[in-house]
Structure 1
């Protein structure tokens, strides 16, 4: 095993061999996998907390739907609205230090979250503010992270790196549900004498939500420690001799860049449509498990963990597929649209499967397709945007592609309060498949990988 090198002992990436650069990327990837895993624990624990502890009764279905929607909306809205500022700062600041700062802020927020759930019953509005703060920190961290590895990894390894990035989220989702369900149940087991070594520490807790949040905080601290021992340079800015633009000009730059490239804009709008149709699953899956599939209250956590595990197992398989094969070398847009059609079909079938095993199989298929289309999209963008511009451009890319996700969460909560979660999944998946099929005929998307034409310098 290669020992982690001290921060100041690594030369700048241009002086590193390909193998050394890849090894540094793997350390960076592994460090962030820790915090992503911790974040998955917190997210799943909060969902179980709302579904099983706060609003367990069928008569509380509207309140549960509203709470799930508000907490999801708070996280998503803060993350997306903060993206332009985060991207501009990622191109201005040292990206490594920005990641460390965000990891430390995330740990601090989670410690406050532990206090919040152990000292009383926090109202839904406070939980919404808490998730919004985590979402804002996450988007700053993501802007620094996403733009760091593309300048560290050589171009021929980027598709494999993108595949590993997809497996990062999927691996977290695969492990987090089972770990969170275990942590949630530990205090009850301690009170029953099943875990005598922890009885004194855990018996007084109503559930394991605080424990999950505390482990998440520790994962952020460990990630910050690892990143502090690595080093990579920030790409030099290219401002065309016009002097350093203002922060507001930097925030507008990404809009100008994408607006002058219709092919990239059409790709973004396609993902915006897909996110509108599918991002409500965080609200719909708990309701599907509890009311459509008829799962008893005390089995909700395990059933929901089954779906989340299936989704993440599929994502892990899809990410590994891209990592091993490198994905399509040409016509990568087909690697986006064809998996998108398959994912929409699986999403629709998950709403009418009628049993937990069949629903999990559909969710697994959806999970396999998602990292395949995401990795190919990321490779297209990295080939079209210079590293020194990626912070500003990718942040606007994230905003345009994902601004519909909070709307999807809110809409899912509204519709599910008055209708069945299964029918919502059916129609949203069918529309996703139709949208992706139509984009196969879009002339802009067929040219999205063509070399960009020369254009006058963009003014920030």
Structure 2
């Protein structure tokens, strides 16, 4: 008699796409609504204040929760039901947006209200993002992770294509509160689709079930210790931290670059962001079909080099060269998934599912740690040296880091380094 074969793991199940599709489709709606909200609020701040400091501050409050609280959110995601975390996160974001809708409808909205809502939305994202990334590993076979990463990048690109011009057109015919209300509907659709899916929970190796602050801090410490034990990845993260410090503020100031340098309006900003989105879609498709070089790091650093040269070009354009700016934003978009996709797939394939929540959020927080500092500096420096300064500095940083990563043995050999074995503080006590 033949023995009964062991049950398929979720990621080996040939029906994986049927289970993963509702989650992915829900994200289409959710991200589109978020794109409308982000564009509409940033444009309102631009029109209302015209201040580089205000835009930098808005970006800062949107980063802080994920930088400061991200590792703790990841530790909790590894312990909680991941589907429930995503549903509550989407619902909480929708509720915060509803509050802002009422403020605009009553004519009471102030910039600080926008800051608060951006903070709350980012807080929800700090839980939703690691829950989604960790759930993907449990639902998608390893051989398809790079393709799914490419599809996710392409989705982000499609949102960047559609949301800005749609947002600009809607603002011409609808009051701001009506545009914001669309996000509430799309969030509810995402929650409903999540309710149709069962996401398996990975088995934990520790014996501690009571959740206390001490346990959460231990979990965060484990994530940090894991990365310290993977020196090549830690070095890449330190480089990413420097790049984010130099480059992210430039994109926070893009609305002012449009109005002050190119003398454009909301549609000009929308087309630039759409050009970027088209590039992201193309880059994601290229990555999905091509698969990249045999060594993922070479693929990623090639994208980073393109990202840097395109940003430098944005910083050198004269005010009459708006069409060239569209082409350079397209180049930035193509470079984004080629830079990020291979690294995401590398982490998903080599890190155990039960610790991915905290590892992903520690990675994200470390990479973005200096971004708030850059945002605080960017506003005053842009007023002093000009809006294009940050594009040149950030682009040069990307080019330099791509060369260093491929020539420094510690990072060049990233894929052949063994990843550390995670030993729980609780189980080893």
TM-score between the two structures when normalised by the length of structure 1: 0.86
Aligned to 1:212: 179
Structure 2 CA distance for aligned equivalents of residues 384 and 262 of structure 1: 14
Whether 1:26 aligns to 2:13 is: no
Aligned to 1:409: 375
Deviation at 1:405, TM superposition (A): 2.3
Structure 2 CA distance for aligned equivalents of residues 87 and 41 of structure 1: 27
Contact 2:247 2:390 in 1 (8 A): no
Aligned to 2:4: none
Deviation at 1:79, TM superposition (A): 2.0
Aligned to 1:428: 394
More deviation in 408-417 or 251-260? 408-417
Whether 1:255 aligns to 2:220 is: no
Question: How many pairs were matched up?
Answer: 415
Q: 1:264 aligns with which of 223, 233, 244?
A: 233
Deviation at 1:235, TM superposition (A): 1.1
1:456 to 1:395, Cα distance in 2 relative to 1, 3 A:
closer
Structure 1 CA distance for aligned equivalents of residues 419 and 137 of structure 2: 22
1:459 to 1:43, Cα distance in 2 relative to 1, 3 A:
same
- Residue 418 of structure 1 aligns to a residue whose secondary structure is helix
Structure 2 CA distance for aligned equivalents of residues 424 and 255 of structure 1: 31
Deviation at 1:163, TM superposition (A): 0.7
1:50 to 1:453, Cα distance in 2 relative to 1, 3 A:
closer
Q: C-alpha offsets along residues 408-442 of structure 1, whole Å, 9 cap, x if unaligned?
A: 32222221222311232122212221222122111
Q: 1:438 aligns with which of 400, 404, 409?
A: 404
Q: C-alpha offsets along residues 125-155 of structure 1, whole Å, 9 cap, x if unaligned?
A: 2221111111001111111111101111001
Deviation at 1:453, TM superposition (A): 6.0
Deviation at 1:36, TM superposition (A): 0.8
Deviation at 1:42, TM superposition (A): 0.3
Structure 1 CA distance for aligned equivalents of residues 25 and 225 of structure 2: 34
- Residue 388 of structure 2 aligns to a residue whose secondary structure is helix
Whether 1:369 aligns to 2:326 is: no
Whether 1:185 aligns to 2:172 is: yes
1:254 to 1:88, Cα distance in 2 relative to 1, 3 A:
same
- Residue 231 of structure 1 aligns to a residue whose secondary structure is coil
Aligned to 1:7: none
Structure 1 CA distance for aligned equivalents of residues 165 and 67 of structure 2: 29
Q: 2:322 aligns with which of 346, 356, 365?
A: 356
Q: 1:344 aligns with which of 291, 308, 312?
A: 308
More deviation in 437-446 or 89-98? 437-446
RMSD between superposed Cα atoms in Å: 1.9
Contact 2:100 2:109 in 1 (8 A): no
Aligned to 1:116: 103
Whether 1:313 aligns to 2:278 is: yes
Pairs within 5 Å for 1:193-208: 208=175
Structure 2 CA distance for aligned equivalents of residues 307 and 341 of structure 1: 21
Q: 2:202 aligns with which of 235, 239, 242?
A: 235
Q: Which runs of 5+ in 1 are unaligned?
A: 1-11, 56-60, 188-207
Aligned to 2:267: 302
Q: C-alpha offsets along residues 203-239 of structure 1, whole Å, 9 cap, x if unaligned?
A: xxxxx32122100111111100000011120111122
Aligned to 1:224: 191
Aligned to 1:133: 120
Q: Which runs of 5+ in 2 are unaligned?
A: 1-6
Deviation at 1:448, TM superposition (A): 1.1
Deviation at 1:121, TM superposition (A): 4.2
- Residue 119 of structure 2 aligns to a residue whose secondary structure is helix
Q: 2:413 aligns with which of 437, 447, 450?
A: 447
Aligned to 1:392: 358
Q: C-alpha offsets along residues 326-373 of structure 1, whole Å, 9 cap, x if unaligned?
A: 333x31111111110111000110122221110111111011011111
Aligned to 1:51: 46
Aligned to 1:202: none
1:25 to 1:424, Cα distance in 2 relative to 1, 3 A:
same
Structure 2 CA distance for aligned equivalents of residues 404 and 418 of structure 1: 21
Contact 1:350 1:360 in 2 (8 A): no
Pairs within 5 Å for 1:267-286: 267-286=236-255
Q: C-alpha offsets along residues 233-282 of structure 1, whole Å, 9 cap, x if unaligned?
A: 0111122x677782221122111111121111011112212211221134
Aligned to 1:146: 133
Q: 1:419 aligns with which of 364, 385, 389?
A: 385
Contact 1:251 1:392 in 2 (8 A): yes
